[in-house]
Structure 1
Amino acid sequence: MAAHLFRRNFIQTIIASSVTAIAGSSIIKAQSTKQLQKGNQQMSFTEKWDKVFSKSSKVDHEKIMFKNRYGISLVGDLYIPKNRSHKKIAAIVVGGPFGAVKEQSSGLYAQTMAEHGFIALAFDPSYTGESGGEPRNIASPDINTEDFMAAVDYIGLHELVDRERIGLIGICGWGGMALNAVAADKRVKAVVTSTMYDMCRVMSKGYNDRVNLEERTQTLEKLSRQRWVDAEKGVPSYQPAYNQLTGGEEQFLVDYHDYYMTARGYHSRSVNSGNSWTITMPLSFMNMPILTYISEISPRPILFIHGEKAHSLYFSQTAYEKAAEPKELMIVPGANHTDLYDKMNIIPFSKITEFFNIHLFV
């Protein structure tokens, strides 16, 4: 989640800036890289451990690559329990937060689930991190939902995985993507969202649905005209660098900064770590509500996890109301939005493990 995108004057901020694309410079010049050719796409990614969390001695780790349905090559980290039987085992696909990379929260969740006995995959979404796609640092409710489903394609073909026991975890803005994916992808047996955002709702309506039709229309007008600017230049314009504080920001923006811009969670490939999305990125989100079919996830179970003090709690509460049984909403006492990114004493991994152990083995 990015500060400038979601300030109180959210709508005006999106279209206010037209800056030179900076995403290309955010790719780490790795000391050790691996080159892979996928069709016509040459991919390069680092082989060294460059996560913001420590490597576990309980799991094996490997970099992998797979393609989504649109031909975009995605790079992921696969975590496999060292202490495993010869039988095929259940798998978890993890994505998020929105604007983050697999070296941050999703990788931490994946490695932890592997410690708990699952094969787990964290991956970079299309157009971000080490994954393919041009231009850099754009997002799409359709393509990013497809990214989740493509990860299910990959994990279900892995020789160690029982493809009938696959679950999803979506963090922050990827919580909504995960729900959208599971509504359509009947191969997934259970889904967990953590500190969930509905990106379509917040981009279309602002925080707490405060944006009215006139404001929405004005934003769409400006974003539409920005397309002519970008088309004439031949490259997209980018928003200001994210999570740069100037003073007086609301607490949740300070919380984002404290994760993405400090040693706690900073990663140079992350959009949220001082990089930015394109100015026109919100267009498709404003026009495609991703939770329309959330009730069709049933009879597969959903576990919503959210912090009691998170500014974003209402997203999970609304999604929970719209979802059909079986469903559960777990509110973590005293936790804010970013506490569930990486605080191991707060993230309820025992609950998540119990949930998947029950629902992936029925």
Structure 2
Amino acid sequence: MIRSFKLSSLSTQFKWEMTSIRHSLKKSLGLTSLIIGALTMNQATLADQPLKLSNTWDKTFVQSSKVDHKKVTFKNRYGITLAADLYIPKNTSGKLAAIVVSGPFGAVKEQASGLYAQTMAERGFVTLAFDPSYTGESGGEPRNVASPDINTEDFSAAVDFIGLLPNVDQNRIGVIGICGWGGMALSGTAIDKRIKAVVTSTMYDMTRVMSKGYNDSVTLEERTKTLEQLGQQRWQDAKNGTPAYGPVSLELKGGEPQFVVEYADYYKTPRGFHPRAINSNASWSLTTPLSFMNMPILTYIKEISPRPVLFIHGEKAHSRYFSETAYEAALEPKELLIIPNANHTDLYDRVDIIPFDKMTDFFQKNLK
């Protein structure tokens, strides 16, 4: 069971996320936002300008000699240019099955999603790991904003791109969503019938956790107070002409719950640190929760069927209940795979326990 942490104006589970925010906002509105880590403003290229992509291998994992890699860009339905890494298995011919990958929430394609994409390319799939809108090397202004609608669209835009490649079979496209982008992947699969199979790994439903707190512990009174505070923050942002950000996230002070320590062990150490990742080096805008708090993204999860879904989660993960309840809500064909002794972030990069063999079998069976 997840430990409980008291905080006067919010659900117990959010103390670690709110402490740094409260210090920076006391002088203005005293806002206590739901699941936003805290962050520095990191302005980048505007959506209508050419993206400036890194030409060096700056991933958190070693480049494979078994696949060809290149940077690509494409636009989503809202006109935002997305940056992605395309991985193509070497010594292949004909049209191949393809997989689109993204996540975790606040990460970049140089981290877990790229590792998943490169590994699945080694196993014979054309893969694409992309940065969601407003983050990483992708376009969108202001920076460090998330949206359950736009980020679901990002998956479909990635399907648009990969499905038009000459070496990809449009009828054999799957999706992998990691952490918070696992929920987006499920949402995207429900609405986009071109996606033939979906895998989620260590999945978060971001609309659920932002609107209800961990383990659905937020009361109506707490939710109302948070929305009132977010409304006041909008006044401040409108007056200033720019969103408010706080201090850099995951700067531990001591006393944080274990799962926060685990996040920091990935994002803030050489294991997974990347300068463009929000969770490593910046923060979401303080009003980011607004669009998540009124839009449950898994409303239509049943409509993924008859296409198959595989949920993967760690036995010791604080977030395990997200996959379990989503699995219960989904229709067959479905499978829930629990990885013994694994915590939430173990499934970001622990290649010895990430079930790549299982994912390979799943996609080979269902993308044919």
Fold-level similarity (TM above 0.5) = yes
Task: Report what 1:235 is aligned to.
Answer: 242
CA distance in 2, matches of 1:12, 1:205: 15
Counterpart contact for 2:42–2:143, Cα < 8 Å = yes
Task: Report what 1:315 is aligned to.
Answer: 322
Counterpart contact for 1:15–1:222, Cα < 8 Å = no
- The one-letter code sitting in structure 1 at the alignment partner of 2:14 is R
Task: Report what 1:71 is aligned to.
Answer: 79
**Secondary structure, in 3 states, of the residue corresponding to 1:272?**
helix
Counterpart contact for 1:11–1:206, Cα < 8 Å = no
- The one-letter code sitting in structure 2 at the alignment partner of 1:197 is Y
**Secondary structure, in 3 states, of the residue corresponding to 1:166?**
strand
Task: Report what 1:338 is aligned to.
Answer: 345
| Structure 1: runs of 5+ lacking an equivalent | 28-34
Instruction: Check 1:14–1:283 CA distance in 2 against 1; reply closer, same or farther (3 A cut).
Output: farther
Cα shift at 1:131: 0.3
CA distance in 2, matches of 1:234, 1:339: 40
Task: Report what 1:48 is aligned to.
Answer: 56
Task: Report what 1:297 is aligned to.
Answer: 304
CA distance in 2, matches of 1:188, 1:195: 20
Mean Cα deviation higher: 242-251 or 114-123: 242-251
Cα shift at 1:10: 7.0
Deviations 1:103-133 (A, max 9, x none): 0000000000000000000000000000000
Residue 160 in structure 1 maps to residue 167 in structure 2: yes
Task: Report what 2:15 is aligned to.
Answer: 9
Task: Report what 2:31 is aligned to.
Answer: none
Cα shift at 1:87: 1.2
- The one-letter code sitting in structure 1 at the alignment partner of 2:59 is K
Deviations 1:191-236 (A, max 9, x none): 0000000000000011111101000000000001100100000010
CA distance in 2, matches of 1:282, 1:202: 10
Matches within 5 A, 1:28-107: 40-84=48-92, 86-107=93-114
Task: Report what 2:35 is aligned to.
Answer: none
Q: 2:332 aligns with which of 325, 332, 346?
A: 325
Cα shift at 1:23: 3.7
Task: Report what 1:22 is aligned to.
Answer: 40
Matches within 5 A, 1:217-232: 217-232=224-239
Counterpart contact for 1:24–1:136, Cα < 8 Å = yes
**Secondary structure, in 3 states, of the residue corresponding to 1:350?**
helix
TM-score (norm 1): 0.92
Counterpart contact for 1:65–1:73, Cα < 8 Å = yes
- The one-letter code sitting in structure 2 at the alignment partner of 1:184 is I
Instruction: Check 1:81–1:237 CA distance in 2 against 1; reply closer, same or farther (3 A cut).
Output: same
Task: Report what 2:251 is aligned to.
Answer: 244
CA distance in 2, matches of 1:313, 1:184: 24
Task: Report what 2:3 is aligned to.
Answer: none
Residue 195 in structure 1 maps to residue 213 in structure 2: no
Cα shift at 1:83: 2.6
CA distance in 1, matches of 2:193, 2:98: 15
Cα shift at 1:248: 1.1
Deviations 1:15-46 (A, max 9, x none): 73449973426x7xxxxxxx9x99x4221111
Matches within 5 A, 1:70-149: 70-84=78-92, 86-149=93-156
Counterpart contact for 2:178–2:201, Cα < 8 Å = yes
CA distance in 1, matches of 2:146, 2:174: 23
CA distance in 1, matches of 2:21, 2:293: 13
Task: Report what 1:30 is aligned to.
Answer: none
Counterpart contact for 2:13–2:213, Cα < 8 Å = no
TM-score (norm 2): 0.90
